Structure 1
Amino acid sequence: MDPVIVVGAGPVGLTLSLALAAQGVPCVLLDEGPGTEEVRLARTVVLREDTADLVGRLGAVHLEKDGLRWSGWRSMRRKQLVRDVPLGPGHDGSRDAGTSGDVRDVGDFGDADVRSGPSLSAPLHIPQHALASALRAAVAAAPLVELVPLSRVDTLEQDRDGVTVHTKGPGTTWWRGSYLVGCDGARSTVRKLLDIRFPGRTAVERHAVAALRAELPWPGEAVLHRQPPWRGGGAEVSARPLPDGVWRLDWLLPPRG
């Protein structure tokens, strides 16, 4: 059979190619970039336990070394602790400051409708470049996946038997596939070439994001702090821990005047 053509070698395209290869389906993975990952600690992803297990089964190793599983999530408003959610094996739901096991509805603060219940598994917080690098290493070891760097799709043709794709790069190439999957992001070239709309509304928010090494008073916990008490703190700031004492900090900036 002709291979499946996957356009876009981010985490989604890499994972899809590995999943297809695991089922015996050959793939051509077209990567617009050079085939390497830029190290950017402030660009991170949070993987649920089942997602982390999936990419691990597909061959992405060392994720636990490169990432950190949070021990809890807490929400604060001004100087008040609004919510404390323990994460990981052995915990059962969330507990709120000032209560004895019942979950308080905090409506206007955006954390409503959380109920106590089964254990909440700790997610894995990992830099995106580390996740993508682990997936690329797995792709390199997968004989059914051909990764082609520096290949930008500029033409698509489809017929009853499959898909033909033209790419620009160091050399122009035509590719033939049984199917094509666009995994090339919000500004997808595949979607534009097929004239497929992406309906919806854009939430216009501005954030300042940084990764830095610091000692914060919540080791291992992720924190959302609304209306922090310090002057000039802005409307909202979050802190998410990474390995080796590094934190990703996000500040919600005011709208442009």
Structure 2
Amino acid sequence: MVDVRYDIAFKMYPYRKVPAMGAAPVRHPVVIVGGGPVGMAAALDLGRKGTPVLVLDDHEGIGRGSRAICFAKRTLEICDRLGTGKVMLDKGVVWNVGKVFHGDERVFEFNLQPEDGHKAPAFINLQQPYFEKFLVDEIRAAQAEGAPIEIRGQNALVGLTRHDDHVRLDLDTPDGPYQVEAEWLIACDGARSTTREVLGLSFDGRVFEDNFLIADVKMKADFPTERWFWFEPPFKDSGASALLHKQPDDIWRIDFQLGWDIDRATELQPDKIRARIDAMLGEGAEYELDWTSIYTFQCRRMEKFRHGRVLFAGDSAHQVSPFGARGANSGVQDADNLAWKLDLVVKGLAPDSLLDTYSEERVRAADENILNSVRATDFLTPKTEISKTFRNAVLKLAQQHAFARPLVNSGRLSTPCVYDGLSLNGPDELDGPARSRVGATCADAPMAEGFLLNRLGGDFTLLALNTTPPDMADTDGIALRTITLETSRDDPTGAIAARYLGDQPRGIYLIRPDQHIVARWATASAAEIETAMRNATGRGT
């Protein structure tokens, strides 16, 4: 593996000895183990809400190697709410279009965001170190404003003990061991989670018999900023499939499907990698290898994501293949789901049973991601001649017929999960568009000034369209903001009406802090809204 050359300060939270290490353990409301994108997003969200949080990481800053690069629209919307959206968009490579090839023939192309009126694009490509850096930078800004967030580098978890009202953590540092206590522990320590291992919890699923080579190369190239994917690519010795993506700083991500029976050490030799890339780009192409790795497909998850006072998020809870960009994206959405619920529980505004719905909803999302990931893998790597014949027939049909294109699976790309039929949902009493049904995430739309999601923010919100809602400031101490819009005045493009009302003249939406829709009505009384609020915060009957 060759280190990347990003102009980033990697030691963003260098080790400092903890005062009074030999004293009695200090108890913290929330401790997060793991300082990757998921842990830092959760810390930033909780800290901005005023809940004290301690982040423990076994390194001293962001990791090397680009690893995750594709960040989806919903993740960018979450990051925008947290304060990092603009800097990520400014640095990232924006793309909406993908092209699929079979051999040297183009099968079709797709646009992941065919409609206008969204602040965030369908995807940006941004190396994971930058993504992490921007989150840590925003945490530093939040700390300067008084947000109660602490980060400790080179504090490695080596053991823990669960109790009814807290968790005790055993930590190792350069100055020796010490202990801390957490009322609530969030494990964001990755696919090889120490937390999960120490607790002896299962991580079940499937390992796929295939290997993929990642090669990040630095080069000047005129390829468009699109996702290009080849089945049975025409370039020599490139494997069963290949993928090309542009990243910032003239870095290009190339993936080659190598098969199962390979010698990893041989395949990672620079000369071997260069031979594959030369065949793809053409002899004489000028580039430098920045980062290389080989990975296998794995689709696994824990049975549940809450275990008493320990909550699992990101790769520690679930793992999918990189194709489809579901790993980091689903992990950030885990943090988005968990932070508001844990904040209410810590502040005594909701029962801890609300945290069971974190597991309920994010297990649903993990299962959806795993299903799509398995389907992508089976399409990419047909195991029988019949399967391969079917796959190639679908590719041939897709060149000429639109009906076959949804059947082509080159890694269905990350989309947010809709929590249809789950326990926090309230009534759906508006015959409105399916995209804004109960359980879905709110669709963005341009307003006379700014965008709708920015107006919604990160609180419980009542969105009233073309109607006057009941006057409500809070429910049992939980703040409820009200936004009243007249589409004739506040909806210059008609997108709000199209995405939230359809053919209906008016509507009222109750929206959670993570911008999932709790309930919607044509009209609603204060009592109906209060009932839906109580249910959405785990206080329903």
**Is TM (by shorter chain) over 0.5?**
yes
Rg comparison, structure with higher value: 2
CA contact (8 A) 2:125 2:248 kept: no
Give 1:144 deviation, angstroms.
Answer: 1.2
CA distance in 1, matches of 2:137, 2:237: 44
Amino acid at match of 1:124: I
Amino acid at match of 1:24: G
Give 1:205 deviation, angstroms.
Answer: 2.5
1:136 aligns with 2:161: no
Give 1:2 deviation, angstroms.
Answer: 3.3
- TM (norm. structure 2) is 0.40
Give 1:69 deviation, angstroms.
Answer: 1.4
SS at match of 1:161: coil
Q: 1:211 aligns with which of 213, 216, 223?
A: 216
Give 1:244 deviation, angstroms.
Answer: 4.5
Q: 1:8 aligns with which of 4, 10, 34?
A: 34
CA contact (8 A) 1:214 1:247 kept: no
CA distance in 2, matches of 1:233, 1:195: 40
CA contact (8 A) 1:78 1:226 kept: yes
What runs of 5+ residues in structure 1 fail to find an aligned partner? 92-119
Query: Any idea what the Cα deviations from partners look like across 1:82-123, whole Å, max 9, x if unmatched?
Result: 1201244537xxxxxxxxxxxxxxxxxxxxxxxxxxxx9521
CA distance in 2, matches of 1:47, 1:178: 32
Q: 2:79 aligns with which of 32, 37, 55?
A: 55
Give 1:166 deviation, angstroms.
Answer: 1.4
Aligned match of 2:162: 158
1:67 aligns with 2:92: yes
Amino acid at match of 1:139: I
Give 1:37 deviation, angstroms.
Answer: 3.8
- 71-80 or 56-65: which moved more? 56-65
SS at match of 1:29: strand
Give 1:3 deviation, angstroms.
Answer: 2.0
CA distance in 2, matches of 1:65, 1:247: 18
CA contact (8 A) 1:18 1:145 kept: yes
1:45 aligns with 2:51: no
SS at match of 1:44: coil
- 126-135 or 226-235: which moved more? 226-235
Aligned match of 1:235: 240
- 18-27 or 124-133: which moved more? 18-27
CA distance in 2, matches of 1:194, 1:30: 18
- 1:77-92 matches, within 5 Å, as 77-88=102-113, 90=115
CA contact (8 A) 2:28 2:54 kept: no
Aligned match of 2:502: none
Q: Higher relative CO (CA 8 A, sep ≥ 6), structure 1 or 2?
A: 1
CA distance in 1, matches of 2:62, 2:248: 22
Q: Which runs of 4+ in 1 moved over 4 A?
A: none
CA contact (8 A) 2:238 2:258 kept: no
Aligned match of 1:251: 256
1:167 aligns with 2:171: yes
Amino acid at match of 1:178: E
Question: CA separation of 1:244/1:157 partners in 2, compared to 1, >3 Å: closer, same or farther?
Answer: closer
CA contact (8 A) 2:94 2:121 kept: no
1:196 aligns with 2:222: no
CA distance in 2, matches of 1:235, 1:206: 11
Query: Any idea what the Cα deviations from partners look like across 1:191-245, whole Å, max 9, x if unmatched?
Result: 011111101111232222122224254x011111111122223211100112354
- 45-54 or 237-246: which moved more? 237-246
Question: CA separation of 1:231/1:59 partners in 2, compared to 1, >3 Å: closer, same or farther?
Answer: same
CA distance in 1, matches of 2:256, 2:100: 15
Aligned match of 1:223: 228
CA contact (8 A) 2:226 2:246 kept: yes
Give 1:64 deviation, angstroms.
Answer: 1.3
Aligned match of 1:183: 188
CA distance in 2, matches of 1:30, 1:63: 24
CA distance in 1, matches of 2:204, 2:62: 32
Aligned match of 1:24: 50
CA contact (8 A) 2:93 2:248 kept: yes
CA contact (8 A) 1:3 1:179 kept: yes
Q: How many residues align?
A: 226
- 72-81 or 47-56: which moved more? 47-56
SS at match of 2:205: coil
Relative to its length, the structure with more helix (as a share) is 2
Amino acid at match of 2:131: L
